[in-house]
Amino acid sequence: MTDPVLSVKNLSTHFFTRAGVVKAVNGVSFDLARGEIMGLVGESGSGKTVTGFSLLGLVDAPGRIVEGSVKLNGTELTTLSQRDLRKRRGSDISMIFQDPIATLNPMLTIGQQMKMAIDAHERLGTRAADARATELLTQVGIPSAAARLRAYPHEFSGGMRQRVAIAIALLHRPSVIVADEPTTALDVSIQAQILTQMRDLAAETGTAMIWISHDLAVVSSLASKLAVMYAGRIVEQGPTATLLRDPRHPYTAGLIASLPAMAKPGTPLTQIPGTTPSLLSLPLGCPFAPRCDHATNRCKDDPPMTHTAGRGYRCFHPTGQTAKAPA
Amino acid sequence: MTGFVHIDDVARIFGPNLTTGERIAAKLGGKVETRSVRAVSDVSLSVRKGETLGLVGESGCGKSTLGRVIAGILPPTSGTVTIDGTPVMENGTKITTRVQTVFQDPFASLDPRMKVGDTVSEGPIAHGLTTKANARTYVAEWFTRVGLDPVWVDRYPHQFSGGQRQRIAIARALAMQPDVLICDEPVASLDVSIQAQIINLFLELTRDLGLTTVFISHDLSVVQHVSDRVAVMYLGRIVELGPVANVFGTPAHPYTKALFGSVPKLVLDADELVKFDTIDGEVPSPLSPPSGCYYHPRCPYATEVCKAEQPQTEDLSDVRAVACHHFQRVLDSTKDVRAVPE
């Protein structure tokens, strides 16, 4: 097996607020191979975005990475100085955010912004920079890209703006792109176009991607492996098809079962009772236990990640054990 | 007619707000920007009593505007909306309490400085459905009904989670004892596990109270789950309308078909990733819609006639209506999945 491009071990990011310590990310580990797309799924407050920010060293005070390691192509990122980290960001690892209106500078043309992103890491003449920008805009599906370099963000539609943001993230052919809900604000027809393109881009360029989303259906059509987060932890991870077909963690099973597509129209949906716990006062042991049908006394202890057959789950009472062994 | 809510030839046009000076200039023949958006054009449909009608489409298709016109929040530019024969609006003012709305964002729809109990009781007191003295018991009943603890009536919205707030918003709408409920993306801002709770509550309440509902959503799987019939909108027009099973099962309009093809589905069996049937291009600006059929620039079935003529709404044999010149070809290609449109 080749070395992973990104290896995250036991990453914990906590926020030290006046109200107490918020354990937003709590012992997250995963590996990402070249060209691989991993879906990071969870509900709001589960820590998926903070995980993404932590990888790029973008966590601001009062938050900080308290533990763990992030290795990108063998280099440890968590101990790098801000200056060295800056050199990596945009060139080795880059990020696409949810809201393209907030990402792009409204006062500069697309061409100027792309030139700035190029200049940050490379010395390229104006003509060469324009050529590179045009090439990438074309690659992400923007028609008449050369002319569009002179346009301002407000002249683009939401879907086109997100394509520009993707093109900027791709400028330096990074090894890893962290995409934080990049299609959530878009219409389904535009989302489908972008998902298809991202899939092709990952395959063509060998860029690995972490696709953060709350939507299981979106990631299931894009990612080859999945990690499900709950209350700051990855509670289950594994190959997409295996994990969806035969979930082991009751939370994953509950999420899948609660989708309207899983029930006969008009019948009540399977629902997970209760709400997500506050990260300020997590219950002792398994954080899902208060909402879980399978919970017993044993769940007052923290379940470790159990690894079997290329997948892992944090649960003492996994579901679906009787089902056929995963392929 | 079997309809309960009648929407008759409704159009809603948004024009620029002209200043007095501009208005005078326009009168005198000056050049003033007077472009307007037809958010909803010539929509006629009726909703049967006790039925849930789903309204789907992409952003900007006019589904929320139509919902607001039915709810009596926005006056239509032309056309009328009636409930059981009585109009919802007269001279631009809502004159009935029989239709109520639940909005998308429960963080914006509740007054942050008002106790939630007062938010729920304000309307019923004003319209004599309860008295100030009885308001607490009245509100408590509705709180119980939507799954909230009645002791919470003196709390403020910030003390509740998103799902609980949406329950409060539902209680507020239902406390007016409406016959018709307009739900504008009621679960779009909720987490997946909470979404299921609210959908279940919604199914239970509409059944128990016999409500007639218009359910607006961009999430096709949610609409498929809760609705009896569904209307698909594109650029202000209804392109297809019919029973959920028919419209979702064998779409007759190319847009409906493409929209369903774009929706990411949860793939359980496939070991390889699904392919999307993507729609090319984007929704055109409603400021300058295309000629003829609004969908023709993106449509794989389009021919010359689509550029020239706006298709009439045709009734199909399976109680469904579709506005497309080539619906037969679309239906045929759906039957044989391998068939590719020329």
Q: Are A55 and A77 in contact (CB under 8 A)?
A: yes
Size of interface A-B (CB pairs under 8 A): 133
The average pLDDT across B271-292 equals: 75
* Tokens describing residue A66: 């308290």
pLDDT greater than 60 at residue B337: no
* Chain region(s) in chain B for CATH 3.40.50.300: 5-242
Report the alpha-carbon distance of residue B113 to residue B119 in Å, rounded.
10
The per-residue pLDDT for B342 is 38
Write out pLDDT tens, residues B304-334. Answer: 999 999 999 888 888 899 999 999 998 888 7
Residue A266: is it exposed, middle or buried by C-beta count within 10 angstroms (0-12/13-18/19+)? middle
pLDDT greater than 50 at residue B140: yes
The average pLDDT across A178-187 equals: 86
Which ipTM was obtained for this model? Answer: 0.77
Report the alpha-carbon distance of residue A184 to residue A54 in Å, rounded.
21
CA closest to B160 among chain A residues? A275
Report the alpha-carbon distance of residue A281 to residue B178 in Å, rounded.
41
Q: Are A207 and A145 in contact (CB under 8 A)?
A: no
The per-residue pLDDT for B335 is 65
The per-residue pLDDT for B29 is 74
Contacts of A227 (CB under 8 A, 6+ apart): A30, A38, A39, A40, A41, A234, A236, A237
Among A269, A275, A327, the residue with its CB nearest the CB of B196 is A269
* Tokens describing residue A92: 């080795």
B114 and chain A: CB distance < 8 Å anywhere?
Answer: no
- The answer to whether the CB atoms of B279 and A191 lie below 8 A apart is no
Q: Which stretch of DSSP H or E encloses residue A178?
A: strand A176-180
> In chain B, which residues have their Cβ closer than 8 Å to the Cβ of A190?
282
Report the alpha-carbon distance of residue A323 to residue A325 in Å, rounded.
6
Report the alpha-carbon distance of residue B268 to residue B263 in Å, rounded.
15
| Inter-CA distances, A274 with A229, A277, A291, Å | 17, 9, 6
pLDDT greater than 90 at residue B31: no
Write out pLDDT tens, residues A275-293. Answer: 888 888 888 889 999 999 8
The average pLDDT across A146-172 equals: 90
What is the layout of strands, in order, in the sheet containing A311-313?
Answer: A93-96, A176-180, A208-213, A37-41, A225-230, A233-239, A311-313, A306-308
The per-residue pLDDT for B128 is 93
Residue A188's closest CA among B326, B281, B244, B260?
B260
- Evaluated on CA atoms A51, A54, A60, A61, the torsion sign reads positive
CA closest to A327 among chain B residues? B271
Range with the lowest mean pLDDT among A245-249, B132-136, B310-314, B336-340? B336-340
- One-letter identity of residue A4: P
User: Please, how many CA atoms are within 13 Å of residue A304, restricted to the half-sphere of its CB?
Assistant: 3
Write out pLDDT tens, residues B209-230. Answer: 999 999 999 888 899 999 999 9
Distance of CA A47 to the CA centre of its chain: 10
Q: Which of A36, A191, A218, A221 to mutate to test the interface with B (most CBs of B within 10 A)?
A: A221
The per-residue pLDDT for A70 is 95
Among B192, B269, B282, the residue with its CB nearest the CB of A190 is B282
Mean pLDDT of chain A: 89
- The answer to whether the CB atoms of A268 and B200 lie below 8 A apart is yes
Distance from CA of A258 to the nearest CA of B (A): 6
The average pLDDT across B84-113 equals: 90
Contacts of A205 (CB under 8 A, 6+ apart): A35, A170, A173
| Inter-CA distances, A221 with A34, A229, A312, B276, Å | 19, 18, 21, 9
Confidence tier at A72 by pLDDT (50, 70, 90): very high
Q: Which of B159, B191, B218 to mutate to test the interface with A (most CBs of A within 10 A)?
A: B191
Among A157, A221, A268, the residue with its CB nearest the CB of B282 is A157
Angle separating helix axes B135-145 and B116-126, nearest 10 degrees:
110
CATH (one of 3.90.320.10, 3.40.50.10790, 3.40.1260.10, 3.40.50.300) for B5-242: 3.40.50.300
Confidence tier at B275 by pLDDT (50, 70, 90): low
Angle, CA A222 vertex, CA A217 and CA A227 arms, to 5°: 75
Mean pLDDT of chain B: 87
Write out pLDDT tens, residues A95-135. Answer: 998 888 888 999 999 999 999 999 999 888 889 999 999 99
Write out pLDDT tens, residues B190-211. Answer: 888 888 999 999 999 999 999 9
Q: Are B74 and B51 in contact (CB under 8 A)?
A: no
Among A188, A214, A258, the residue with its CB nearest the CB of B196 is A258
| Predicted TM-score of the model (pTM) | 0.83
> In chain A, which residues have their Cβ closer than 8 Å to the Cβ of B203?
266, 268
> In chain A, which residues have their Cβ closer than 8 Å to the Cβ of B220?
188
Report the alpha-carbon distance of residue A51 to residue A36 in Å, rounded.
18
Question: What DSSP string describes A58-126?
Answer: -PPTTEEEEEEEEEETTEESTTS-HHHHHHHBTTTEEEE-S-HHHHS-TTS-HHHHHHHHHHTT----H
The per-residue pLDDT for B73 is 93
Strand ranges, E, within B153-209: 180-184
B279 and chain A: CB distance < 8 Å anywhere?
Answer: yes
Write out pLDDT tens, residues A194-222. Answer: 888 888 888 888 899 999 998 888 888 88
> In chain B, which residues have their Cβ closer than 8 Å to the Cβ of A269?
196, 199-200, 225
The per-residue pLDDT for B34 is 65
* Tokens describing residue B115: 């106790």
Write out pLDDT tens, residues B56-88. Answer: 988 888 899 999 999 999 999 999 999 999 999
Distance of CA A82 to the CA centre of its chain: 22
